[in-house]
Chains A and B, each alone.
Chain A
Amino acid sequence: MKPKGSKFARKHNIITEEPKKKLPPVPPEYYDFFENQYGFAKRFLNLYYDEQVELISYLYKLSSSEDKEYAEISSAYIQKIHELTDSDYEEGSYEPVAVDEKKLIRMDCYGSISRRRPDQLSDLYRYFQGRKEQKHHLLRDYDLDSSPFWKVMAQFESFRRIAPKVKRALYKAQINPDALKVMTVNDYCDLIYKAFAGNTEKSHFIKKQESVKNRFIRQFMKECGDSFYRLLIDKGIDERCVKALCNKMKRFGSCNLDSLIVTETHYTPRVLKDLKKAGFDTGKLEAGMPIPEEFINYLVDNGQEKLILARNEDGSLVNPYQLPRLEVHHGFAVKFADADYLAASNYPDRLVLIEANMHRGYYHLFDSLVKQNNLQNYYSRLNINNKYMRLRIGFSDEDALYGDFENTAAFRQRAAEDKKHRVNYFECQKEYDRNVIDIMSKYAEEFRQYGPKKMLKNLPKQGSGNDVKIVTLFGRNKGKNRE
């Protein structure tokens, strides 16, 4: 093989090996994006969906790499993807909501409460739970408006709806009405959990189908159901799967694929045979005729879905996982709720259905937070620009659906009612602190005699007048960002 370069160059040792071409740290199938930077958007949209999400994860890593060239290209590409999805990366500072408030937003969304550990409950609540009451308390003695933390909870319609049951649970347990003044959010959760739980890990204090999440999905189907159906059909998904999902979302407000029952939409010879075997009159039915939705629902509700399960030509069951797995995304950051009012976090006009991979690998990829202290935090987040976007299952324009969910009488009525119940967490906390001092003083003698040792430590020494110290020692599970 002829050596490279002239003899002279070789003599002076200036011919070196041709520099190796720098390859981007991505799988080879994505090299082209870094070699040729023109027409990125078009080429990106031509990728398979999984590849798009994968490429984004590489771009995200590269955008903060030390290699300036790749970092710049990647950042520019990410910006182009944001343009495709009509999103904007935003940075700023904000005042975080309290952990209690965060928990309430979750409970409101799912309509459920999980079991509390005993050590999560306040000492006073536990004391009042075990206290033998000398007089019988009446239902009307339980004034929830006297409870600072109930007022925090009652900002949500879900909790206002169960207020009578909460009162009844307190009455049945004959808890001293003074306890209401010093009950924390966790204490109420314990009470509600016990009042509503069956033998489950979580109690649905609102019927699952009536939870904010499920109602949102049902409303989505009401407003955008036809477009959603067409969108999935256009994606080439088996019509039987699409119909089953739409039906489930419409009826139950659930898009859980793992419990989705995909049935035939038209009678097949096998279905007719099975129905006949099960005792149904199939005399007037023929293969190819549509199965009425009511009949499908009837069979599914009665556990007879096996008779009409959708099958492929080889007899195997149709796979529902060709459908997009949808998750509910809070289009408006939950952490900003305080800027408006807490209950608004779960309003249907702030929720968006997003395909799971995209939700995880795109919308939440850019979240970050640098805490300065408990009151001031810096954040970054990917915001959805179009407030009417209600669904996104891909990166192209056609993969999104829009709807105006706030323009209804029910929505306006609920928003007005929520505004009336709006309270400031800090103010409620201060009220709670004052109540603790009052209750500690009122029951001081009793606590000295019967109270737990931990509580005794916190009692004021006679004449000390150091009330602030008491609260500091006693207060728990109530601080902003404190557990």
Chain B
Amino acid sequence: MKKFINSLKTRKIFQGEKLDSESLIVAQKLLVNMHLDFLPHSYVEFLKQYNGVKADGAYLFGATVDDDLDIIDKNEQMRRPKNCILLGYNEFDTLVYNFKKKMYQVIDREDFTIIDEYKENEAGYALSQIFSV
């Protein structure tokens, strides 16, 4: 994850406002209310550094008021597979966290085929696959 976060420092990207604990708690509550689950610990760690980012057709969501990056809005609006929280997308794929399998999954945006799967401790691979396009 560190490597991915470091790689963001050199890029010109838009990021959501700094994460505050209240926003995170609200987001977690709303996700649970939507019959989803809490955000994985590794993703929360990412949000503490970057509360949602977007650049060049790629997005990673956060607990932010930015309409393109609001994790709650996006989980309400966009199609997602069962038992999955939407975390981001690019022009081809969507990044989800499958809370039943406890895995990050990069899935085809159109037909939901799993392109790659990553364990929670491999979040850096998953996030960079979506965002470093």
A286 to B129, CA, bound (A): 49
Scan residues 50-91 of chain B and give those whose CB is less than 8 A from a CB of chain A: 54-57, 68, 77-79, 89, 91
Scan residues 66-107 of chain A and give those whose CB is less than 8 A from a CB of chain B: 96, 99, 102-103, 105-106
- Shortest 5 CB-CB distances between A and B: which pairs? A259-B12, A201-B128, A202-B132, A256-B56, A258-B14
A368 to B80, CA, bound (A): 10
Q: B7 on the interface (CB 8 Å rule)?
A: yes
A contacts, CB < 8 Å to B: 57, 96, 99, 102-103, 105-106, 109-110, 112, 114-115, 117, 200-202, 213, 254-259, 325-330, 333-335, 356, 360-361, 364-365, 367-369, 377, 379, 381, 481, 483
B interface, over-half SS: mixed
Task: Check B111 against A200 for contact (C-beta < 8 Å).
Answer: no
Q: Which residues of B contact A112 (CB under 8 A)?
A: 132-133
Contact status of A102 and B4, CB under 8 A, knowing A112-B133, A361-B77: no
Task: Check A103 against B115 for contact (C-beta < 8 Å).
Answer: yes
Partner of B112, one of A110, A334, A369: A369
Shortest beta-carbon distance from A195 to chain B in Å: 17
Task: Check A96 against B124 for contact (C-beta < 8 Å).
Answer: no
Task: Check B128 against A57 for contact (C-beta < 8 Å).
Answer: no
Q: Which residues of B contact A365 (CB under 8 A)?
A: 79
The 8 A CB mask of B1-44 against A (1 = contact, 0 = none) is: 00110010001111000000000000000000000000000000
Shortest beta-carbon distance from B62 to chain A in Å: 15
Q: Which residues of B contact A255 (CB under 8 A)?
A: 56
Chain B residues with a Cβ closer than 8 Å to the other chain, count? 37
Partner of A483, one of B11, B55, B116, B129: B116
A417 to B67, CA, bound (A): 44
Contact status of A201 and B124, CB under 8 A, knowing A258-B55, A329-B91, A361-B77: yes
Contact status of A259 and B55, CB under 8 A, knowing A117-B122, A361-B77, A483-B116: yes
Shortest beta-carbon distance from A479 to chain B in Å: 13
Contact sample, A vs B, 19 pairs, CB 8 Å cutoff? A99-B114, A109-B92, A112-B132, A114-B128, A201-B124, A201-B132, A202-B132, A256-B12, A258-B56, A259-B12, A259-B55, A335-B110, A360-B77, A364-B79, A367-B111, A368-B79, A377-B111, A381-B110, A481-B113
Task: Check B110 against A334 for contact (C-beta < 8 Å).
Answer: yes
Since A328-B91, A335-B108, A377-B111 are in contact, a sample of 12 more A-B pairs with Cβ atoms closer than 8 Å, ordered by chain A residue number, is A105-B92, A106-B92, A109-B92, A114-B132, A255-B56, A258-B54, A259-B12, A259-B55, A364-B109, A365-B79, A369-B110, A481-B113
Q: Which residues of B contact A115 (CB under 8 A)?
A: 125, 128
Q: Which residues of A contact B117 (CB under 8 A)?
A: 483
Q: Which residues of B contact A364 (CB under 8 A)?
A: 79, 109-110
Partner of B111, one of A96, A106, A202, A361: A96
- The residue in chain A whose Cβ has the minimal distance to the Cβ of B124 is A201
A110 to B13, CA, bound (A): 18
A330 to B108, CA, bound (A): 13
Q: Which residues of B contact A330 (CB under 8 A)?
A: 91-92
Q: Which residues of A contact B122 (CB under 8 A)?
A: 117
Task: Check B125 against A102 for contact (C-beta < 8 Å).
Answer: no
A364 to B108, CA, bound (A): 12
Q: Which residues of A contact B3 (CB under 8 A)?
A: 201
Partner of A327, one of B57, B113, B128, B129: B57
Q: Which residues of B contact A481 (CB under 8 A)?
A: 113
A325 to B14, CA, bound (A): 12
A377 to B111, CA, bound (A): 10
A200 to B7, CA, bound (A): 6
A258 to B57, CA, bound (A): 10
Q: Which residues of B contact A103 (CB under 8 A)?
A: 115
A377 to B116, CA, bound (A): 20
